[in-house]
């Protein structure tokens, strides 16, 4: 018996999936009737060690509360599920205290200093057999990103920088006033809409229709689709090379919403001047191609392994502020005996800002450039429900007058 399977067979505290998930305990009994609660607390201590920004270290965190309901186990109809996620934020973070364009702490990037400190996402799903499902509601895109094997994670257990933790997966809505943390809007962290999923072999398909604006804004919930809609599709091909699993994902999206015409930036000297007189442009489009390929994987479990990930994106460039982006790296599990639950990763990214944006800012005397950087992390599984991560980022900021910045962080996640 392998180490991993032996651990799974032992009903001991370190090997439980969460602190309170004891054999025949309350959580196991609730699961038997279709009610699945979870509580996670993730704490961060992060600071900038090199560069021109503040050298202050900040402590903060977030509480994630999940509730999944399986209607069939409750004696209702088959295939119906409810997913609820409540997030509460506490403490401080270093986002927006530095000169980086892309948030260096994704999990805490969407908290306004004097704004919201909690968020609620609710979605429902109806499965029609094993291969077709329909979902609708308010989706937490950071949580959805955490389901990808090598990249993603939403900033709570793998990479922390938004470039890796919440990669762009759709149109970038450039509103007059973007969501908190979006110095350049990439794609919204919260969306209202619907998703259709079709699973076949070897290709899975997904179609999403959503309001392109971030559902952080209460107005999006009160008046959905008033500014237009976004339609996106994805096709994921599952591959196997020499017995090693991999994925190729092609995405495309379009929105009929209007955004700021970036050719008009030079005519707007102050952000406060943004208003009805600002010229807008209709239509966003986005496409991307991603590869994830294991180089090494466990003989007992193909989901445990490490390998290559890469993502390349291309957009319209106006009104989308990011014309292209690319990232690549290595990551996955530590396959040393007894350390299979540890995770690690290292990667680089570069965001190519669109020329109309850079030229417009330059005309205002604000010199900016594209931004790139690299990040490395190691996530130590002290137990299956207690994880300690160390994270290091080196960023070449979009302000050319500022020197390169280095960020270090410790992250502790507890699953109750």
Number of domains in the chain: 1
CATH code: domain of residue 265: 2.40.160
Segments forming the whole domain that contains residue 285: 94-103+120-404
Are 24 and 47 contacting, i.e. CB atoms less than 8 angstroms apart? Answer: no
pLDDT at position 172: 59
pLDDT at position 188: 80
pLDDT at position 277: 64
Encoded tokens for 234: 């994805």
pLDDT at position 143: 83
Residue 391 lies in a domain: yes
pLDDT at position 144: 81
Are 268 and 276 contacting, i.e. CB atoms less than 8 angstroms apart? Answer: no
User: For residue 189, which of 254, 135, 261, 110 has the smallest C-alpha distance?
Assistant: 110
DSSP helix, strand, coil percent of the chain (3-state; round to 5): 10, 45, 40
User: For residue 308, which of 346, 361, 276 has the smallest C-alpha distance?
Assistant: 346
User: For residue 156, which of 64, 65, 83 has the smallest C-alpha distance?
Assistant: 64
Q: Is 88 helix (H, G, I), strand (E, B) or coil?
A: strand
Residue 306 lies in a domain: yes
What sign does the dihedral 93-96-100-104 (CA atoms) show? positive
Are 379 and 340 contacting, i.e. CB atoms less than 8 angstroms apart? Answer: no
pLDDT at position 267: 65
Angle (nearest 5°) at CA 163 between 157 and 164: 35
Helices and strands: H and E segment counts in the chain: 6, 16
Q: Is 169 helix (H, G, I), strand (E, B) or coil?
A: coil
Residue 33 lies in a domain: no
Residue 366 lies in a domain: yes
Q: CA 46 to CA 35: how far, in whole Å?
A: 36
Encoded tokens for 123: 């979605």
User: For residue 113, which of 99, 92, 98 has the smallest C-alpha distance?
Assistant: 92
Q: CA 369 to CA 54: how far, in whole Å?
A: 21
Q: What is the DSSP letter of 179?
A: P
Residue 46 lies in a domain: no
Digitized pLDDT (tens) for each residue of the chain, 416 residues in all = 444 444 455 567 888 889 999 888 899 999 999 999 999 999 999 999 988 876 889 999 999 999 999 999 999 999 999 999 999 999 988 887 778 888 899 999 877 654 557 889 999 999 999 999 999 999 998 888 777 766 777 889 899 999 998 877 666 555 444 433 344 446 788 899 999 999 999 999 999 999 988 888 888 899 999 988 999 999 999 999 999 999 999 999 999 988 888 887 766 555 444 444 678 888 889 999 999 999 999 988 888 999 999 999 999 888 888 899 999 999 999 999 889 999 999 999 999 999 988 988 888 888 889 999 999 999 999 999 999 999 999 999 988 888 889 999 999 999 99
Residue 113 lies in a domain: no
pLDDT at position 17: 87
Q: Is 346 helix (H, G, I), strand (E, B) or coil?
A: strand
Residue 71 lies in a domain: no
Q: CA 178 to CA 185: how far, in whole Å?
A: 7
User: For residue 165, which of 76, 208, 103 has the smallest C-alpha distance?
Assistant: 103
Q: CA 147 to CA 149: how far, in whole Å?
A: 6
């Amino acid at each position: 018996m392998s180490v991993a399977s032996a651990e799974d067979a032992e009903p001991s505290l370190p090997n439980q999936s969460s602190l309170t998930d004891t054999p025949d305990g309350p959580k196991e009994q609730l699961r038997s009737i279709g009610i699945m609660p979870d509580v996670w607390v993730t704490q961060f201590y992060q600071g900038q060690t090199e560069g021109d920004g503040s050298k202050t270290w900040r402590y903060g965190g977030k509480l994630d509360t999940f509730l999944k309901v399986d209607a069939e186990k409750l004696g209702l109809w088959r295939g119906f599920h409810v997913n609820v996620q409540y997030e509460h934020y506490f403490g401080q973070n270093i986002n927006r205290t530095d000169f980086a364009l892309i948030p260096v702490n994704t999990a805490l990037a969407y908290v306004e200093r004097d704004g919201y400190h909690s968020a609620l996402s609710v979605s429902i799903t109806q499965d029609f057999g094993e291969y077709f499902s329909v979902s609708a509601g308010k989706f937490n895109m950071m949580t959805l990103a955490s389901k990808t094997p090598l990249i993603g994670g939403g900033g709570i257990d793998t990479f922390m920088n938004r470039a890796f933790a919440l990669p762009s997966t759709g149109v970038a809505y450039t509103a007059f006033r973007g969501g908190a943390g979006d110095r350049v809007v990439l794609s919204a962290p919260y969306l209202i809409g619907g998703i259709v999923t079709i699973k076949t072999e070897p290709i899975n398909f997904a179609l999403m229709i959503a309001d392109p604006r971030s559902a952080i804004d209460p107005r999006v919930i009160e008046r959905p689709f008033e500014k237009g809609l976004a339609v996106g599709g994805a096709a994921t091909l599952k591959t196997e090379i020499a017995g090693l699993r991999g994925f190729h994902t092609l995405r495309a999206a379009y929105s009929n919403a209007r955004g700021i015409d970036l050719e008009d930036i030079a005519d707007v000297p102050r952000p406060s001047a943004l208003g009805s007189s600002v010229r807008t442009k209709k239509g966003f489009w986005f496409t991307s191609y991603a590869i994830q390929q294991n180089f090494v994987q466990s003989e007992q479990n193909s989901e445990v392994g490490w390998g290559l990930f890469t993502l390349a994106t291309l957009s319209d460039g106006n009104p989308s502020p990011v014309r292209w982006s690319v990232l690549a790296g290595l990551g996955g599990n530590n396959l040393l005996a007894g350390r299979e639950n540890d995770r690690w990763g290292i990667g680089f990214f570069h965001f190519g800002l669109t020329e109309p944006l850079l030229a417009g800012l330059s005309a205002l005397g604000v010199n900016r450039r594209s931004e790139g950087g690299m990040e490395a992390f190691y996530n130590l599984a002290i137990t299956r429900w207690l994880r300690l991560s160390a994270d290091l980022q080196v960023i070449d900021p979009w302000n050319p007058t500022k020197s390169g910045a280095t960020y270090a962080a410790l992250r502790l996640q507890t699953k109750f």
